[in-house]
Amino acid sequence: FQHGALAGKRVCITAGPTREPLDPVRYISNHSSGKMGYALAEAAADAGASVRLISGPVNLPAPARVEVTSVETAEEMLAASLDGIDQCDLFIAAAAVADYRPVSVAEHKIKKGSEEIMELRLVKNPDIVATVAGLQEHRPYTVGFAAETRDVVGYARSKLARKQLDLIVANDVSNPEIGFNSDDNAVTLVSADDEISLPQTSKRQLARQLIEQIAQQYHQSTQ
C-alpha cells in the first residue's frame, strides 16, 4: 500500500444506504451498513487524499481526517454529491442507493385499513454515479460498484458501459460473508479491458487494495 498515492487529490465517496420515506414514521431502505464506503474513505485519506464522504444513515464513526456529509434520501445524496463536484478528482460510489422511492410522502402516519393487500406506487430515483460520470465539465474519474447475485462480472460490465464509468467494483452479494453488512468482502475490479480479482479479506484491507489499484489506473488515465 503506497502512502502518498493520492497526495494532492480530492476523493469524493458515497456510502451506506438511502432511506426513502413513506410517511413520518416509515421508510424503504436496504441492509447496507456503510462499512465498505467508510473503509474506502479511510484508505483514501491514508493514501494522502483529501476525502469527502457523502453518507446515508449508518452507525459508524467518521473516519479521521475525513469530511462527512450526512444525507437520508437518494435525492439528497445526489444534491450533496454534485455540490462541490468540480473539486473532486475521483468519485467512488459505494452507496446502496434505493432505485425507487414512494411517489408521494404522506403528511401523516398511514392508517391501517380493512384491505388485505395494499399497493405502493414507486418512482425511479436519479442515478447518482451515472449523473456524475455524465458531467460535461469537471467530470471526475468515476468508479462505481455493482451489487449482483448472479453473472456478477457480466452485469458489472454492462453497468460500467451503461453508466459510462471508468472502473466498476463487482460485488457478489449472494454470499452473506462478502456483501451487505458483512465485515469481509471479495470483489473483482473491472475496467473496459481488464479484470482484477481481490480475494476475501476484511473490508478495511480490501479498501486499501482497491484504493491502490484505483490510484494506479487513475494516474495512467491522466498521463
Stated as kind and residue range, the H or E segment containing 68 is strand 66-70
Helical segments of 11-73, H only: 35-46
Q: Total number of residues binding ligand PMT (CB under 6 A)? A: 29
Of the two residues 47 and 97, which places its CB atom closer to ligand PMT in the complex?
97
Is 171 a residue of the active site? no
Rounded CA separation 123/137 (Å): 28
Of the two residues 27 and 145, which places its CB atom closer to ligand PMT in the complex?
145
Among 5, 11, 36, 133, binds ligand PMT (CB under 6 A): 36
Task: Say if residues 37 and 16 touch (Cβ distance below 8 Å).
Answer: yes
Task: Say if residues 103 and 93 touch (Cβ distance below 8 Å).
Answer: no
Rounded CA separation 111/174 (Å): 35
Pick the stretch among 44-52, 107-115, 176-184, 204-212 that binds ligand PMT (CB under 6 A).
176-184
Of the two residues 181 and 216, which places its CB atom closer to ligand PMT in the complex?
181
Q: Which three cell numbers stand for residue 18?
A: 438511502
Give the binding site for ligand PMT (CB under 6 A): 14, 16, 32-36, 74, 93-97, 99, 125, 127-129, 144-147, 159, 171, 173, 179-181, 203
